[in-house]
Structure 1
């Protein structure tokens, strides 16, 4: 069989297994096993499976993954979400759109410690939706801003999705983290800019401002956010200045999270054990998926499929922009059926050779992938964040999907901006590693 025919067969097999409800990791391993049967030279598929899974699981880079997950689990069980609204609201009352900007800022702050889009969206929505509804804010815009801003959990470092991409693409985790800062700020600015424009165009739908608070009272309301802000600044500076590796930063983050939980009187044996078990379950799921993806990638490398695909794409003479446009559509379509981590591990082996041949930096491409995964999270009708908000708000799927459309389009704008101006992504990594 021709290599492209083998690739099509493996993709059809994988699609059939996933459609049949087979676990993603098992479907990946089964497809890899079938792929190994097309390899000449009597290479034992079982031995390759064992060595690939062991080599993948023993990666030191992956040590950061369970620690960042645990850090988010610990803070998820504090009173952070309740205090975040009270702490941020007094400072945003002057902006057009007023308290709806809390959704964006709160998701950005919580996203920087949770690393999960769904956890960020659910945590902030739980406190923000009832408060905004009570004060008379437009429900559609409130829902849409939460759907969009919830995706910041995987864009603003440290991010679980970024760690998975860095390991799958064999690039520096720290560089990918640093590359995510400015695009994260860009997306937050786009969201807040939209809220400002919308509120200026619809002044009747924006409640009047709360009475201004004196500076001392504002500081008192925000005081409980100071430990979290210090933890975030410490982790960011450690990465930026090269004081610590990503794994060491994750360990310090866990220690800081435990201290914050204790300071909030939320650290009990029950909450500690719940955070450990939550982190263990998520880590095991991701590690098993990564092991399956690693085996499939190895099998495809043995067959020579990635190189053949790269040569085929090269033969199409697509411009770099055309390739990025095609990949954007592909990831958004995949997002209707898969979560972000699965999308990355399923496609890395095939896509990376194409991207390399097109001349894109793999660190830049990691941020592109995270952004299009964000688009998939809020793309109607089945984006995962939409399901989260549907559950949290009690609204039907059509209402939540309609509310998310403007924020989906803003993510399209963000992808276009980083493609035309790649320096937005590469500035910080180049500054940090040019020494």
Structure 2
């Protein structure tokens, strides 16, 4: 049967199931079963059992629930309050003043969370009441938080990087290292925009309560020590080669429990809620990964990835135009699916194409993460928009509008990655 017709039928089946409110993981497995039963000679039943078991029993994937659990534990500690107290004195002289706590706070928390939604929610609970009480405008406060919250996907450890590394068979440690410079650069772009906005709108920035002396700033900085130690423990164990990504995730869980105990927030309720929250989230992700693994196998038997790669090559697109086409494709897909679903749903088809184009898979992983970050703040299924809507009660369209400048900064980051690929590849090449 014609490849276009097969693809069309599978896409129709995919969106019909999604539109029927079937879970994404089950939808992927269902479409895979339909494709294998109708368009290949391979029996679907045993193939599905073997593939689902293989995807669920991956040792590399063990890092994922551990990092999620670490983020859940920290979400329930006094970490956010301590971070604000430690950061606020150092940004009082910058244009935009305390608005920079959104970006810096998200950057720091991203290094111990790995989740965009958790980063946005945790820092938002800290900064939104404080900035609102001090008179900072809502549009720049909420917009900068939505944009900076996406750093949870780029700055390691990152859940999306783990998922990409597993599906694309790329070293997760190298992906983590590759995300450092792009993450810091994107954070700098966000802070630069805030500073420029503040210089253009000086009347909207409230004056500081008082200017602290250097000694007072140092004393307040002691509140940053716990989170800095946790970051050093998690990332240092990976970069020094002492631990794999999975073992470092276990270090992070133990460290977060120690932090929680020291701060007095470790009790049975905290332990139970964090464990159940991490279990629910991981079970959802694991089901999506299992369904996507089976879908990848099914498409392999049908021959769609190979044929699509040959079709794209036949179009004669330059590597740059292919990158632009993929960015637009993922941004469009992000209007309907969450980031993890986007990655696992498309990798089976996209990877042969990008390999044929000569893209470095570590670089491509960072490219995918940045584009998925953009999808976190595009309606109607922008996860960060949902998080902020729940926290602020604002209309999701209003939140999306005030977040658009940060969306365009991410577009600029994609172009930077293309023209200066060493931003993502230099550090991994030193490993």
- Bin the TM-score by the shorter chain: over 0.9
CA contact (8 A) 1:4 1:308 kept: no
Deviations 1:365-396 (A, max 9, x none): 11111111111111245522122212211222
2: distance between equivalents of 1:370 and 1:49?
28
User: Partner of 1:37: helix, strand, or coil?
Assistant: helix
SS in 1 for 2:170: coil
Residue of structure 1 equivalent to 2:88: 89
Query: Is residue 33 of structure 2 the alignment partner of residue 33 of structure 1?
Result: yes
| Match of residue 16 from structure 1 | 16
Aligned partner of 2:216 in structure 1 is 217
> Which residue of 2 is the match for residue 276 of structure 1?
275
1:38 and 1:303 in contact (8 A); partners too: no
Report deviation, 1:39. 4.9
Residue ranges of structure 1 left out of the alignment (5+ in a row): none
SS at match of 1:43: coil
Is 2:158 the partner of 1:159?
yes
Aligned length: 431
Where does 1:200-211 land on structure 2 (aligned, <5 Å)? 200-211=199-210
| 8 Å Cα contact 1:93-1:210 kept in structure 2 | no
CA distance in 2, matches of 1:19, 1:147: 27
> In the TM superposition, what is the alpha-carbon distance from 1:215 to its structure 2 partner?
3.0
| 1:53 counterpart SS class | helix
Partner of 1:260: 259
Checking the alignment, whether the CA contact within 8 Å between 1:67 and 1:250 is kept in structure 2 is yes
2:131 aligned residue: 132
Structure-to-structure mapping, 1:147-186, within 5 angstroms = 147-186=146-185
Shift, 1:127, TM fit: 2.0
Q: Give the whole-Å Cα distance in 2 for the aligned partners of 1:163 and 1:82.
A: 29
With the length of structure 1 as denominator, give the TM-score of the two structures: 0.96
Task: Give the aligned partner of residue 411 of structure 1.
Answer: 410
Partner Cα separation in structure 2 for residue 259 and residue 224 of structure 1: 15
1:337 corresponds to which residue?
A: 336
Check whether the contact 1:381–1:401 (CA below 8 A) recurs between aligned residues: no
2:112/2:230 contact within 8 Å kept: no
CA displacement, residues 271-294 of structure 1 (integer Å, 9 cap, x when unaligned): 011111111111111111100000
Report deviation, 1:217.
2.4
What does 1:10-409 correspond to in 2, within 5 Å? 10-40=10-40, 42-380=41-379, 382-409=381-408
Superposition RMSD on alpha carbons, in Å? Answer: 1.3
Q: CA deviation at 1:38?
A: 4.0
CA drift of 1:210 comes to 3.5
CA–CA distance in structure 1, aligned partners of residues 179 and 337 of structure 2: 22
Give the whole-Å Cα distance in 2 for the aligned partners of 1:98 and 1:81.
18
Deviation per residue, 1:158-195 (Å, 9 max, x gap): 01111111111111111111111111001100000001
Query: Separation in 1 of the partners of 2:394 and 2:59?
Result: 44
Tell me which stretches of 4 or more aligned residues in structure 1 moved more than 6 Å. none
SS at match of 2:97: coil
TM-score (norm. length: structure 2): 0.97
* Counterpart in the other structure of 1:3: 3
Gaps of 5+ in 2: none
Residue 395 of structure 1: SS of its match in structure 2? Answer: coil
Q: Distance in 1 between matches of 2:215 and 2:176?
A: 35
Q: CA deviation at 1:45?
A: 0.8
Q: Cα distance 1:316–1:180, how it changes in 2: closer, same or farther (>3 A)?
A: same
